[in-house]
Amino acid sequence: MSTISIPSDVPSPEEDCNKLWKAFKGWGTDEKAVIDVLAHRNARQRRAISEAYRRLHRESLLDRLRSELSGDFGKAVVLWAQDPPERDAKLANKAMKKKDERHVLMLIEIACASSPDHLMAVRKAYCFLFNSSLEEDVEDHFAKQESLRRLLMGLVTSYRYNGELVDEELARSEAATLHDAISMKQPDNEEVVRILGTRSKSQLKSTFNCYKEKYGTSIDEDLESSSSGDNKFIPVLKVAVRCIESPEKHFAEVVRSSIVGLGTDEDALTRAIVTRAEVDMKSIKEEYKRYKTSLNTDVIGDTSGYYQEFLLALVGWAIP
């Protein structure tokens, strides 16, 4: 599922550190050397490099990257170089400092498109980094948005069963519960939050399938025509359903939306590629073909320079 290419003979963390150290020396940074090392190492290897760099050079690799690199390229490399749970904890914290409701979607992505163990690691990292829990901050930040608060709390505190076992009778029953809530224009009721926040992804996918088979439309389609007292709730609920049912579709849409129109939303593009390169980028690239183009082609068309080269390395395509 990962699209990053790792050499068959991986240098030691100390060798990689020396290559990076040399890249930072002189009159300018050797950006290609930075890409050659960091874009071709997995999370475990990048963590070992960061630890070795601090031990050998008495400074933080992240701090050095921030001082050496700039622009969208610098942001992308720094995001990639971080340990994934710490990176996502910082993204969650950043999301709650923004007033733009689009940033709430970052919380949904972390809560619903992550494995149970990764979400737990994010929550642990959040406590360490910010001296408060993710749950506390969600509770405080969304205190005046009751429906949204209940949904987000249910999702970020969830620890789902991660197996494939499914109860078909339960799926049919909860599909009916979801349909009743949506048809009665009450998608923000407690039963919806309970179902989405407690069931395994396999169970929920079965429930969503039962929903479509019985009622002729998908839950996503019915949510589109529904309404709620909190007009911010429906878009968030839709993204939660999409991230649980088909994260590759969600992130393909994030990439596409960041590229089409006037200008490029580099932050969204970077986040989607960096956070999914080691998770399901192969599936995202396959899903992207429904736009009658390729993800690689769109990245090439809307980015340039080292930023382009770095993103292409993460999605598995190198500039000749």
Superfamily of structural domain 84-156 = Annexin (1.10.220.10)
The rounded distance, in Å, linking the Cα atoms of 50 and 163 is: 33
pTM of the model: 0.94
pLDDT of residue 319: 58
Q: Tell me whether residue 259 is annotated as binding.
A: yes
Q: In this predicted model, what pLDDT tens digit does every residue of 19-52 receive, in sequence order?
A: 999 999 878 899 999 999 999 999 999 999 999 9
Class of domain 168-245: mainly alpha
The rounded distance, in Å, linking the Cα atoms of 130 and 263 is: 34
Q: Tell me whether residue 24 is annotated as binding.
A: yes
Q: In this predicted model, what pLDDT tens digit does every residue of 238-271 receive, in sequence order?
A: 999 999 999 999 999 999 999 997 788 999 999 9
Q: Tell me whether residue 163 is annotated as binding.
A: no
What is the arithmetic mean of pLDDT over 87-112?
90
Q: Tell me whether residue 261 is annotated as binding.
A: no
pLDDT above 90 for 317: no
Closest by CA to 220, choosing from 200, 196, 254, 202, is: 196
Q: Tell me whether residue 284 is annotated as binding.
A: no
pLDDT above 90 for 224: no
Of the CATH numbers 3.40.1440.10, 3.90.1150.10, 3.40.50.720, 1.10.220.10, which one belongs to the domain with range 13-69? 1.10.220.10
pLDDT of residue 303: 96
pLDDT above 60 for 230: no
The rounded distance, in Å, linking the Cα atoms of 20 and 38 is: 9
What is the arithmetic mean of pLDDT over 16-21?
96
248-314 is classed CATH 1.10.220.10: yes
What is the arithmetic mean of pLDDT over 122-139?
97
Confidence of residue 228 (pLDDT cuts 50, 70, 90): low
Share of the chain above pLDDT 90, in %: 86
Q: Tell me whether residue 28 is annotated as binding.
A: yes
Whether the Cβ atoms of residue 178 and residue 267 lie closer than 8 Å to each other: no
Q: In this predicted model, what pLDDT tens digit does every residue of 147-204 receive, in sequence order?
A: 999 999 999 999 999 999 999 999 999 999 999 999 998 999 999 999 999 999 999 9
Q: In this predicted model, what pLDDT tens digit does every residue of 48-83 receive, in sequence order?
A: 999 999 999 999 999 999 999 999 999 999 999 999
Three-state SS letters, 191-253: HHHHHHHHCCHHHHHHHHHHHHHHHCCCHHHHHHCCCCCCCCHHHHHHHHHHHHHCHHHHHHH
> In the chain, which segments carry CATH 1.10.220.10?
13-69, 84-156, 168-245, 248-314
Whether the Cβ atoms of residue 240 and residue 247 lie closer than 8 Å to each other: no
